[in-house]
Amino acid sequence: MRWVVGWNGVRGAAGVEAEALRPVGGRLLWPGPDPLWVVGDWRPDEIRGVAVHRYRRHYHHTVQVGFPELDEPTGAAEGSALLALPPDDGALARLFVLGRCGAADAALRTALLTTTGGALRHLTTWPGSYVVVLQQGSRVAVLGDLAGVQPVYHTGWRGGTAWATAALPLADLVDAPLDHVHLAARLALPDSPEGAGDNSPFTGVRRVPPGQALSIRAGVPDISVYEAPPGGVGTYEISEASATAEVTRSLLESVRLRVRTPAPPTTYGLGMLHAENAAPEPTATEAEQGTRGGAGGVWVEAAGPGSAARKADPDPPAAAPGVGGAGAFRGRAFRRRHGETDGAEPVTATLTPRPAVSVDLSGGSASTVLTLLAAGVPRATAPATAFGAARAERPRGATLFGLRAETGDEGPAPSAEPDGDAGESPDGPEGEANGAAPARHPARGTFSEERWGDPRSSRTLRHGPPRPDAAAAGSGGNPRRTGAVRGSWARVGGPTAPGNDALLAITYTDAEGVTGAPPNPAREAELLRARAVAEAAADRIDHVVVPGGQEALPFADLADDPLAGPLTDEPGPALVTAVRQRARLAAAGVEHISGHGARQALDGHPARLADLLHERRRSPLLRPVAALTRADSAALGAAGLGTPVSVVRAARRLARTGYVEGLEATAAALLRGGADALRPGSAGDASTRALAWCTPGPAAAWLTEGARGAVAARLRLAAQAGAPDERPGARRARLALQRRAADFRVLAQVVESAPEARGRRLHAPFLDNQVVRACRLVPDRARIQPGARQLILRAVLAGAGVPSVPDGLPASGPAPHDAYPSAETMRAGLRRAASSLDRFLATSLLGRWGVIDVAATRAALSAATVPDSPGPMDGLPELIATELWLRRLHSRRGSCWVGQLGTAPQLH
């Protein structure tokens, strides 16, 4: 887990004691009485800063990339055996951007100067996902993001204020106990923060809401809003075309930032095995079947037209030959190799770098769009890395992954260069120094250093790429103007990256027979769609399908040792699918792009119907209500004819209900038991229940009466604080996006905590600040229409210059993401681990503290795992994940700091 920590206002004797305190594994970014530390697996390219110093009468700026070179400490700190902190460098102001940020050095310098007037919002307008830390004299300001992927926490400490981007280190710092009511509120009201408030799971550690900034001056914290919530009174709408253009621009910038940023010149990304000796050439039969001989644990796919066989993972989940995937994937074979080949000498496996960039390709609309956008971005030239010596020892004829490239009917396989880097372009500086001619594409000419789409190129900004048939037409090769977005790099006819720099697209699916349920037609269609997308761009995409066995089902690792998994900052559903996530991303690149948050950012929440009625706009309600009626009529028959009346009536009721009245109604529902959330129903019933300011979650029925009463009391306190300047639909949509961002944050911590994933980053472009702002511009009347998200993403592809939008892009309907298992997969995991989970819940810490009713929870688990007519399982993964997080916290808490004297923190 990576986090940033600092404090402000700790002076006097407390300041002397604070100098003896160190975060375990921390690196100091700036010294002084108000220091800044980064802890964890931070990469140098993720740390950028600018400082202002004064020398006599002159001011000068210093731009820092990576960890700063601080002065040597003068001696040991008082009362501690640790070395003292380096002396203060005397900077008047500092600005650090931590994470993936697309701001140039000049933009950072300008932003630091602009903050002298008190402005902060401009610090969050750059592409990427990052945390901003600003220091001006005795004032420190910390800004997270709009979605909540980069949260900020603070607490009072030793007369000042300590802050961090994680709650657990602050709880260890101040010995904060757990807040049982907060845990109960997270289970009872998962989509509404009113019950939890601005608190964290630890008492006294407070969270800064997304869209707000934490400013600390002389140890006194102040929370200010830098981004007004959407949908407030007085806001205006822009046209759908203008909003779509803004979504296109922001999404292109976010994807380009991840793809074009080269990996740092370090050993990050190591971990994939390759064979020292060259693998033998495949026979004709093996080439047809998609298999080959070789050594090492690898998966190989058949070489289709326009694509090369690729090694996917050194240690894949066990899968029987011929099992897994749809019938369309018969050409692929996933074989596991052990030790050495038949009749061959033993092979020595060494570490080689991972692919620079990979992307999820689940077959849904969001993953398809991100894959096509990333495939159209030219790869960045990778710098020299620490494994150059090992690369020189690679035998001639072996590729980077120890496999020869297999081709179909396109000609001979490209020969590998043992002295060339995997990510280097053939026309790079080293190639020119060696006298090598620039690489020439058979149809699009020579690749130059000035690639099309580079924003530094004047021709890119003013013209499109040259026509492929310019010479034949006699136009002289002049670039043509296009209607694509300015700065786009994926225009029709533009040159693409070399073939050995293809984008790795990963599709994860359960092997056939793993879930025990018949094949899901929707999932089969997604797999076929993913394959069609990969084949349509076979020269730019390397597609790998990863089948998961029973050992990768959810809850699979809880049967052995529940305490052996990762400890995240907060509980989340990804804790119960940790093994599945690691198997899914075992072959992923250093930068892995996923489509998390697309549905929450672009879709219309059912509560937005009330917003339209509040504005007296009734005509946009016709199509969504008709779609719900058709769905209920197909599932329930004549009983679904009452759906329009119930939905419109609920929307009118919400439009007339105030915020305080809505919270009071939810508190009363909690006191009654909250069993309505578990009541099964149709799509119309689900939309009717969602038309409220606040709704109880499925786990509310398993809470004890005392826990429900405590959560209801917090709801009433939140109602007394006043109503927000926000309409119900916009508020519910914003909170749904924040919940998905919190789940993604836990997922990223689980993935990055794997020992073999050092330096890997999980990216969600749809959760970036600029993309979130652009998606908020889409009018409500457009986003609530059926298939609105897919239509917007189609327009994004057209605006980005994708020559042809895939026909298989779904026009409507849900598209589950690979990271979140389907209902069949989750139920199969529950059934497989039912006995272990029952024993796990029998000794629950939540039950011991009086938060949940253990008997009711075990009964719900038993009902959800029966073979015939199983009961609902909604809420069980979240409850089990919370219990799992508590046990791991109990066994590992108190390990964040060194040099502090005090008693061990307690959980109660």
Nearest to 665 by CA among 200, 183, 192: 192
Closest CA to 152 of 215, 213, 95, 208: 208
Which residue in 606, 630, 610 sits closest to 618, CA to CA? 610
645-658 average pLDDT score: 91
Q: Where residue 219 falls among pLDDT bands split at 50, 70, 90?
A: very high
- Across the beta sheet with 3-8, the strand order is 26-30, 36-39, 3-8, 160-164, 152-157, 206-208
Higher per-residue confidence, 474 vs 151 = 151
Helix (H) or strand (E) holding 352: strand 349-353
Whether residue 392 sits in one domain with residue 297: yes
Contacts of 61 (CB under 8 A, 6+ apart): 50, 51, 52, 109, 112
**Interatomic CA distance for residues 229 and 776, integer angstroms:** 10
Average pLDDT over residues 794-800: 91
Q: Which amino acid is at 285?
A: T
Q: Which residues of 487-521 are buried (b: 16+ CB within 10 A; e: fewer)?
A: ebbbbebbbbbbbbbbbbbbbbbbbbebbeeeebe
For tokens 């702002």, name the residue: 773
Cα–Cα nearest to 312, from 551, 505, 497: 505
Residue 28 placed within a domain: yes
Mean pLDDT of 49-54: 90
Residues 473 and 513 in one domain: no
The CA-CA-CA angle for residues 800, 803, 805, to 5°, reads 85
When mean pLDDT is compared across 285-299, 364-378, 570-584, the lowest value belongs to: 285-299
- End-to-end Cα spacing for the chain: 24
In angstroms, the Cα distances linking 225 to 25, 106, 120, 167, 719 are 33, 26, 9, 21, 20
pLDDT of residue 212: 95
pLDDT of 140-152, one tens digit each?
999 999 999 999 9
Residue 906 lies in a domain: no
The tokens describing 652, both together, are 């009118």
Q: In this structure, are strands 445-446 and 349-353 parallel, antiparallel, or unpaired?
A: unpaired
Least reliable range by pLDDT among 27-36, 296-305, 454-463, 759-768: 296-305
Shared domain for 332 and 451, answered yes or no, is no
Which of 474, 496, 518 terminates a domain? The answer is: 496
What pLDDT score does 900 carry? 58
Tell me whether residue 32 is exposed, middle or buried, using C-beta atoms within 10 angstroms of its C-beta: 0 to 12, 13 to 18, 19 or more. middle
Decide if 525 contacts 811 (C-beta within 8 A): no
pLDDT for position 684: 78
Query: How far is C-alpha 157 from the geometric centre of its chain's CA atoms?
Result: 32
Structure tokens at 902: 């005090």
Distance CA 491, CA 374 (A): 13
pLDDT in tens, 692-702: 999 999 999 99
Judge whether 232 lies within some domain. Answer: no
Residue 427 has pLDDT above 60, yes or no: no
- Other Cβ atoms within 10 Å of 471 Cβ, number: 12
Q: Would 800 be classed as within a structural domain? A: no
- 238 assigned to some structural domain: no
For residues 702-723, average pLDDT: 92
Degrees, nearest 5: CA angle 93-96-99: 170
In this structure, the answer to whether residues 610 and 565 fall within a common structural domain is no
pLDDT tens sequence across 843-883: 999 999 999 999 999 999 999 998 888 888 999 999 999 99
Higher pLDDT, 348 or 97: 97
Q: For 716-770, what is each residue's pLDDT tens digit?
A: 999 988 888 889 999 999 999 999 999 999 999 999 988 888 889 999 999 999 9
Q: Within 13 Å of residue 369, how many CA atoms lie on the same side as its CB?
A: 30
Same domain, 80 and 203: yes
Q: Answer for the pair 810, 786: CB distance below 8 angstroms, yes or no.
A: no
446 and 434 both lie in a single domain: no
Does the pLDDT of residue 455 top 50, yes or no?
no
* 395, 522: one domain: yes
What is the distance between the alpha carbons of residues 6 and 767, in angstroms, rounded to a whole number?
25
pLDDT value of residue 234 = 61
> Average pLDDT for residues 108-112, to the nearest whole number?
93
Note the Cα 95 to chain centre separation in Å.
25
Amino acid 369: pLDDT: 93
Same domain, 645 and 731: yes
Q: Quick check: helix, strand or coil at residue 134? A: strand
- Which residues fall within 8 angstroms of residue 372, CB to CB, at 6 or more apart? 490, 533, 537, 797, 802, 806
Nearest in space to 85 (alpha carbons), one of 144, 140, 22? 22
pLDDT tops 50 at residue 313: no
Identity of the highest mean pLDDT range in 192-196, 400-404, 741-745, 819-823 = 741-745
Are residues 261 and 369 located together in one domain of the fold? Answer: yes
Q: Is residue 586 located within the same domain as residue 625?
A: no
How is residue 663 written in tokens? 């919270």
3-state DSSP call for residue 600?
Answer: helix
> Quick check: is 829 in a domain?
yes
The angle subtended at Cα 574 by Cα 568 and Cα 576, nearest 5°, is 100
**Nearest to 697, CA basis, from 674, 672, 720, 728:** 674
Residues 10 and 135 in one domain: yes
Structural domain includes residue 813: no
Last residue of a domain, one of 593, 618, 637: 593
Q: Domain residues for 854?
A: 823-888
Q: Is residue 908 part of a domain?
A: no
Query: Pick the residue with more confidence: 884 or 384?
Result: 884
Query: Rounded to the nearest 10 degrees, what angle do helices 240-260 and 769-776 cross at?
Result: 170
C-alpha to C-alpha distance for 65 and 68, rounded to whole angstroms: 8
Q: Which of 559, 593, 627 is the last residue of a domain?
A: 593
What single-letter amino acid sits at 297?
A: G
Q: Could you identify the residue written with the tokens 């790869």? A: 379
Residue 375 has pLDDT above 70, yes or no: yes
Q: What is the mean pLDDT of the chain?
A: 76
Quote the CA–CA distance of 772 and 407 in Å, as a whole number: 41
Torsion of CA 748, 699, 230, 597, to 10 degrees: 30
Phi and psi angles of residue 107, each rounded to the nearest 5 degrees, phi first: -65, -35
Please report the pLDDT score of residue 680 as a whole number. Answer: 58
The tally of domains found in the chain comes to 5
Give the tokens for residue 755.
């020992």
pLDDT at 382: 47
- For residue 55, give both structure tokens: 């020398």
410 and 347 co-located in one domain: yes
